[in-house]
Amino acid sequence: MPPVLKFCRGSITNLLYLEGFCIGLFGYISLQKYVFSVASSKFTSGNLSYLPEHSGFLTEVPMQELCRLEKNQQETKTRAEKVVCDVFPFLHLPYVFIWNHLFHLQHSLLFILLTSTPTHQDLNTKIAWAQGYTGKGVVVTILDDGIEKDHPDLISNYDPEASYDVNDGDADPQPRYTQRNENRHGTRCAGEVAAAANNGVCGVGVAYNAKIGGVRMLDGEVTDVVEAHSLSLNPQHIHIYSASWGPEDDGKSLDGPAKLAKEAFLQGITKGRSRLGSIFVWASGNGGREQDSCNCDGYTNSIYTLSISSTTQSGNVPWYSEPCSSTLATTFSSGNPGEKQIVTTDLRQKCTDSHTGTSASAPLAAGIIALALEANMNLTWRDMQHLVVRTSQPGHLSAIDWKTNGVGLSHSYGYGLLDAGAMVALAQNWTTVGPQHQCVHTMLSEPRDIGNKLVFSKSVDACWGRPEYVSSLEHVQARLTLSHNQRGKLAIHLISPLGTRSTLLFPRPNDFSSEGFNDWAFMTTHSWDEDPQGEWTLEIENVAANGRDYGVLSQFTLILWGTGPSVVNPSSSDFPRPSNNSCKTFDAQQICIGEIIRASSDTQTLNKSHLN
């Protein structure tokens, strides 16, 4: 069998090492005291700096490391951690320096930060902690390269029932130690979630009273079996699975879970947590420098995962960020040179201030989700996504594609920055959403040439009058089969009946593949709460067309996921009538809090076809 290779995850900063931890530049999560990982921004300049030994809690940063690649089922799969590798100088940072940079926790109940973000924004953990929510009773596991279970900042919260070594087939998830400390990623992520409070070590986790486990599954061949085993570990005990890895962020890979892993996801959301559903939190990816798209990553592109991106200390899009329509929300992480990174636990019972990339963002989200789950242990996996949509804050985040219709929405940030205080408040009295409905529409009756641009439209009834009728959207999937001589030239957009435009695929200049897409399910969360009845439009554009390009769209299936009425008989007076509802998002009392401005009726489309 080929050896497992380790590669840097796209182009993240030094600290974004997937093996390490995910705490971000400013100490976005709740690091207890001093440690906050500082993630640097560029691969090339080596701006990230690790904290060396200092009072026994800072960790040395290994020199340039190779991030790891995972592999698929019996056939090994290429999997990369969502971090960046580089060579960084060792720095001796005093406690006050580190704490000053824990801006994301600046409103902490336990500690008062000396500085704050320029825009006075953080993850608002203070409000949640002030109400007594610290993750108690919630179990989180980190799917990664292991967890240092005897780390002084983790040992009090370590949970052996949430841990396993899939690589070696035993119960001990302790990382394999090497001279370069490349297996540090899982330990770093664990500290972001559940590093203990008030012990004078490293920092404090967002959910510092949650139980934390680790699954060692990246330090060896990663196959479909390995992934499925990891995703399905003890699902009646573990509440939240956090993962900061995926296919290579190289701007050309198209990969996702294979058969067994797909089944593990399905079993998790249907049977995990006593049928409330396991919660899977996923890092969106670090392929920004390679102009990658996380819609080509089948893990972050899944309706079953809560995909989390990164923002910098200043509220800007990091250079490593991948835009896509499947991202639900964001947390802090590393940015450009001079901006802070994440502080967290590190190997050999030390600490680091240089955890970076989306690898650091996902564990912060897992910690916030643990706080919300403690507030209401009856939340389903879909309830949690609804809470994220309704409480995330777009306010101080900068992006060129913010939608101003209805609520804030961006391909870089999803619905905005997670807000722990708001999530906990809404979770406490949340009414569980109705059963999930799935409505499938076959949109295409015959193949269509893509040419320079194909615009195809069709009206749907969202399965009105049938048990699967969807009246309020959650996820939307466009399953496409198409051929093209160079798929990286293509940009794909989906426009909802209310005019919401989701970019399902951004052009990928590094993708020269002529394999096209074979029943690939592009997913968007951008039409959440919309009424799906009406005309949907698919646009496929060749952004670098020449006379030699050719392509054909042979299949387009629209899958609508969401909720609908419990009354099945359309003749009943209780059955809802088709409507022109323009509400984008409702609050917990189903009061409209955002409306969508409809697309202009004179919008021009090319090659438009209306099929019944």
Active site residues: 144, 185, 359
Distance CA 378, CA 171 (A): 29
Write the burial class of residue 92 (CB in 10 Å: 0-12 exposed, 13-18 middle, 19+ buried). Answer: exposed
Secondary structure of residue 501 in the 3-state scheme:
strand
Burial annotation 30-55 (CB, 10 A radius, 16+ → b, else e): bbbbbbbbbbbbbbeebbbbbbbebe
Distance CA 405, CA 528 (A): 13
Which element (helix H / strand E) includes 263?
Answer: helix 259-275
- Is 78 in contact with 69 (CB distance < 8 Å)? yes
Distance CA 66, CA 450 (A): 40
Structure tokens at 476: 């939307």
Distance CA 548, CA 22 (A): 45
Query: Rounded to whole angstroms, what are the CA distances from 368 to 38, 279, 556, 601?
Result: 20, 12, 37, 42
What is the distance, to the nearest Å, from the Cα of residue 312 to the centroid of all Cα atoms in its chain? 16
What is the per-residue DSSP string for 542-578? ETT--TT--EEEEEEEEEEEEE--S---TTSTTSPPP
**C-beta neighbour count of 571 within 10 angstroms:** 7
Cβ-based neighbours of 226, under 8 Å, separated by 6 or more? 70, 71, 73, 166, 167, 217, 220
Distance CA 502, CA 369 (A): 26
User: Which residue in the block uniquely carries the two structure tokens 């592999």?
Assistant: 71
Longest dimension (CA), the chain: 73
User: Which residue in the block uniquely carries the two structure tokens 């700096």?
Assistant: 49
Secondary structure of residue 16 in the 3-state scheme:
helix
Write the burial class of residue 577 (CB in 10 Å: 0-12 exposed, 13-18 middle, 19+ buried). Answer: exposed
First and final C-alpha spacing in the chain: 52
**C-beta neighbour count of 168 within 10 angstroms:** 15
What is the per-residue DSSP string for 45-56? TT---B--SSTT
